[in-house]
């Protein structure tokens, strides 16, 4: 993840860099700017996944810089650093992802990073999970359905099956609107529905079909969500 950090205080930028490393040393590639004009010069040539901007800068302040970024059609998340709550109204006029008050609180900073990571994973349309501390990424479109098996979840993809330890809530937080829970044990990708019945559905993929039950608990809501997801696909 490429992150642009812009702050005219070298001590603070170093602190932000250190926090990013503490959070996940393999996740971020940081680019540090002490002058907002230098960042502006590189916006057209460097594609950043996220911007961390200080508001109180001498030449072009963070809000002005964010306005220029948005005018270029760049929708990457922007996180502001500020010492004053009075900037909040201006901050949210430029589609701000979040803001952090100085001095930076590590717990709060990590909470923002958790949300940022989840947001970017959804934007990238990928599902991320770990097996034995190894990270895996799957395109959402390659996942047919999830099957709950006690404390594990079986991920049925087009090419392979994976067993992971993950809760249903953690699972649902990552998924986009193509996925609908039809049973305590099943969350399906609507793109693979071949037939929808009252209490069952058929999924078709890789020249195979599988029938899954729709439980009474999820029946009404799942049918509604499936119809919403399938609009424009049929």
Q: What is the pLDDT of residues 13-51, one digit of tens each?
A: 999 999 999 999 888 999 999 999 999 999 888 889 899
Indicate the angle between helix axes 10-23 and 106-123, nearest 10 degrees.
60
pLDDT at residue 234, as a whole number: 47
pLDDT at residue 34, as a whole number: 95
The closest of 156, 122, 140 to 191, measured between CA atoms, is: 140
Burial string for 158-174 (b: 16+ CB within 10 Å, else e) reads eeeebeeebeeeebeeb
CATH of domain 2-123: 3.40.50.2300
Contact present, 51 and 66 (Cβ < 8 Å): yes
For residue 196, report the phi and psi dihedrals to the nearest 5 degrees: -120, 120
In the chain, CATH 2.40.50.1020 sits at 127-230
- Alpha-carbon gap, residue 67 to 200, rounded angstroms: 50
Which CATH number is 127-230's, of 1.10.1060.10, 3.40.640.10, 2.40.50.1020, 2.40.50.140? 2.40.50.1020
pLDDT at residue 20, as a whole number: 97
CA atoms within 13 A on the CB side of 70: 15
Contact present, 181 and 175 (Cβ < 8 Å): no
Contact present, 82 and 102 (Cβ < 8 Å): yes
In the chain, CATH 3.40.50.2300 sits at 2-123
pLDDT at residue 118, as a whole number: 82
Q: Which regions in the chain score pLDDT beneath 50?
A: 232, 234
Q: What is the pLDDT of residues 152-179, one digit of tens each?
A: 999 999 989 999 999 988 888 888 888 9
pLDDT at residue 28, as a whole number: 92
225 Cβ neighbours under 8 A, 6+ residues apart: 177, 180
Dmax (CA) for the chain in angstroms is: 64
Q: To which residue do tokens 């306005």 refer?
A: 67
């Amino acid at each position: 993840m490429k992150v642009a950090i812009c702050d005219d205080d070298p001590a603070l930028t170093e602190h932000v860099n250190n926090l990013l490393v503490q959070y996940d040393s393999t996740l971020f590639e940081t680019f540090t700017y002490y002058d907002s004009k230098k960042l502006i010069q590189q916006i057209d040539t460097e594609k950043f996944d996220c911007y961390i901007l200080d508001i109180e800068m001498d030449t072009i302040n963070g809000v002005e810089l964010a306005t220029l970024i948005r005018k270029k059609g760049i929708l990457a998340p922007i996180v502001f650093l500020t010492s004053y709550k009075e900037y909040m109204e201006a901050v949210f006029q430029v589609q701000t992802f979040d803001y952090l008050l100085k001095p930076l609180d590590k717990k709060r900073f990590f909470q923002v990073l958790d949300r940022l990571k989840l947001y970017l994973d959804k934007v990238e349309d990928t599902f991320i999970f770990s097996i034995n501390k190894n990270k895996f990424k799957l395109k959402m479109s390659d996942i047919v359905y999830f099957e709950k098996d006690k404390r594990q979840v079986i991920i049925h993809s087009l090419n392979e099956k994976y067993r992971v330890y993950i809760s249903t809530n953690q699972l649902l937080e990552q998924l986009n609107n193509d996925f609908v829970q039809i049973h305590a044990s099943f969350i399906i990708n609507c793109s693979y529905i071949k037939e929808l019945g009252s209490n069952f559905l058929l999924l078709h993929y890789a020249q195979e079909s599988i029938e899954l039950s729709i439980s009474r608990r999820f029946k009404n809501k799942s049918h509604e969500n499936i119809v919403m997801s399938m609009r424009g696909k049929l």
